[in-house]
Chain A
Amino acid sequence: MGVVHGDLMTLNIGPQHPSTHGVLRLKVKTDGEIISEVEPIIGYLHRCFEKHCENVSYEQVIPYTDRCDYIAAMNNNFGYAVTVEELMEIKVPERVEYIRVIVAELNRIASHLLALGAYGLDVGAFTPFLYMFRDRERILDLFETLCGARLLYNYIWVGGVSHDLPPGFIDAVYSFLDYFEPKIEEYNELLTYNKIFIERTGDVGVMPPEVAVSYGVTGPNLRGSGVKWDIRKNEPYSIYDKFDFDIPVGAGKMGTVGDCWDRYYVRMVEMKESVKITRQALKGIPTGDVHQALPKKIRPPQGSIYKRTESPRGDLAYYIVSDGSPIPYRLKMRSPAFTALSVLGEISQGWMMSDVLVILGSLDIVLGEIDR
């Protein structure tokens, strides 16, 4: 008996669909219930980020980076600031480095909480979403006391940060971490080891490491496939080489290495690691003036730079070409979610219709960053 091919049916998911995490359209070709082709169609959120950057000064770019990955805006600011500083050879004060690491790791926890909560929602578990949003809210409150904004911070500037830590901030972060750490166990009980959840995600959407590397997939998605790669460890920037933390990788605990459950679980463990880093940073934070190294005018010397940092979604890189003027000549953002979405067509082939959104959710994409 040969394989029988029925007629293919084309089905559109999106652009407006609650499970697409933004405005994304998936053109799905199905053979009955089996997926034979998925083509993501993007661009609905394109806001000409790179064109804008060629028209505004270096400091004005920072609010635009906020709006690319609006879930983890601190990390976007961070990557941009680090890149421009390296181009200008600015050395920032120790205190600034510590503050940056603290806020970046807190934002990483917030971003992962949203990713995991929404992922539960994707597979039909409503309660964990509420639990995780409750805790994410605490981080946003912390950021609000820090810089007045809840999502789009414009906090990390080239050469420093916009405000010093407010009084009592360090204690507040400590008490948040004490509150938050046991909650991870609670999430595990609620969702991670839930039988239905494992049935839906274990062994589904397996991404072999070679495929992941070839598609440029990075971050938790790559680590879920068992590749131990983290820019914070392998190419340390800022002061990440001072901290002691592990890189969790997928081990195929509930199926095959690189399945949806692995990608999910890597994020869960990563939150623990972020807590660890934050604690160390809080302990070692020195005193000092955070505005000391702010340049009066940002005018990098002629040249180009390509610099990568680890955002919650993976390698976030900026390619900046400067012609010596206060406006970037060319600024390209290499977005981790862009590469993560490109692999969707490859890894969802052969799965059931209902698995497509499970696989998509496990990649944790943010459309603002993909379309820029």
Chain B
Amino acid sequence: MSEDQDKFIADVVEKALQGDMDAINNIEDRVTRSKAKAALVKAKREAKAAATEDTSKSEESKTEESAPVVKSLSEKVAACLNEKFPNSLESEDVNGYIQMKDKNWFEIAQYLRYNLDFLFDSLQCVTGYDFGENEDLEVRYNLHSMTHNHAIEIRIKTDRNNPKVPSVEQVWRIGDWFERETYDMYGIEFEGHSNMTRILCPEDWAGWPLRKDYETQESYHGIVVPKVKDGWE
């Protein structure tokens, strides 16, 4: 029975892929119908993945043949930085963001801010990030240019036990508060910041709340902090 059914489903999926959706919609048994639909979605997804692979392959072959390629902005910035500041990139692969070392970050930030090709005059967001217990921390910067209307993301990893990243407070003024917030939540110190103090939590709060291994203090100024239960009811 089930073999028959599999064969039947394969059949209708084949038909549906050719554009005949009625073949599926006319199945009377609900269970079979939903199975067929699921199989169709899967088949479509596979077809799509194969198609994109094909196009990427053909694009690759094209790049080998003809030299001028339209690069994404991140790639352009990465190439430029590699030239100007050798050894500043963690990896040359650009995948929607630029992974950078913390060395020279202040100079690079100044370069990105004032270089006429990029003019990233607005620091949109600074996000702290924790890869998990005993792993590294990361700071992510979203830069945006009001003049050119383009944006990039820059990521800088830092060691969990001694997290330090150069401050860009002097490049973008909003860096001041964004960095204080990141310090408050992750304990990442921004070197060269004029006022590296907590901003949202009280000054004498213990621990870094958004780290994945954070444990709430037992009491705060004599007030017992209630234990958080695991999971939600």
Contact = CB atoms under 8 A, between A and B. Distances in A.
Interface of A: 42-43, 46, 48, 50-51, 54-56, 211, 213-216, 227, 229, 234-235, 306, 308, 315, 317, 319, 321, 330, 332, 334, 338-339, 342-343, 346, 371-372
B105 interface: no
A50 B173 contact: no
B210 interface: yes
Contacts of A229: 146
A55 B232 CA distance: 8
Contacts of B130: 330
A46 B200 contact: yes
B149 A234 contact: yes
Nearest to A346: B173
A319 B140 contact: yes
Contact of A306 (B125, B172, B232): B125
B158 interface: no
Given A214-B173, A214-B174, A51 B209 contact: yes
A339 B209 contact: no
B209 A306 contact: no
B125 A334 contact: yes
* Closest 6 pairs (CB-CB, A-B): A216-B174, A43-B200, A334-B125, A214-B173, A332-B127, A46-B200
Contact of A339 (B140, B142, B153, B174): B174
B232 A42 contact: no
B123 interface: yes
8 contacts: A215-B174, A216-B122, A216-B123, A216-B173, A235-B149, A306-B125, A332-B128, A338-B177
A316 to B, nearest CB: 11
Interface core residue of A42, A51, A213, A346 (most chain B CB under 10 Å): A213
Interface core residue of B127, B172, B185 (most chain A CB under 10 Å): B127
Nearest to B185: A50
Contacts of B201: 43, 46
Contacts of A306: 124-125, 142, 153
Which DSSP category, helix, strand, loop or mixed, fits chain A's interface? mixed
Nearest to A323: B132
Interface residues of B, number: 29
Contacts of B128: 332
Contacts of A308: 124
B76 to A, nearest CB: 19
Contact of A342 (B176, B198, B202, B209): B176
B190 interface: no
A43 B199 contact: yes
Given A50-B185, A306-B125, A332-B125, A227 B146 contact: yes
A216 to B, nearest CB: 4
Contacts of B146: 213, 227, 229
A51 B176 CA distance: 22
A342 B174 contact: yes
Given A213-B121, A214-B121, A339-B174, 17 more contacts: A42-B200, A46-B201, A50-B210, A54-B210, A56-B232, A213-B122, A214-B172, A216-B172, A216-B174, A227-B146, A229-B146, A234-B149, A306-B153, A317-B142, A319-B140, A330-B129, A346-B173
Contact of A51 (B177, B178, B210, B232): B210
Interface string B117-147: 0000111110111100000000010100010
Contact of A321 (B129, B185, B202): B129
A317 B232 CA distance: 27
A227 B122 CA distance: 13
Nearest to B228: A55
A319 B177 contact: no
Nearest to A217: B174
A317 B209 CA distance: 21
A43 B209 CA distance: 14
Contacts of A319: 125, 127, 140, 142
Nearest to A235: B149
Interface in B169-185: 172-174, 176-178, 185
A319 B127 CA distance: 8
A183 B210 CA distance: 47
A346 B174 CA distance: 11
Contact of A42 (B127, B199, B210): B199
B200 A371 contact: yes
Contacts of A330: 127, 129-130
Contacts of A372: 200
Given A43-B200, A213-B122, A48 B209 contact: yes
Nearest to B153: A306
A51 B216 CA distance: 12
Interface string B146-166: 100100010000000000000
Contacts of B176: 342
Given A55-B232, A342-B176, A216 B124 contact: yes
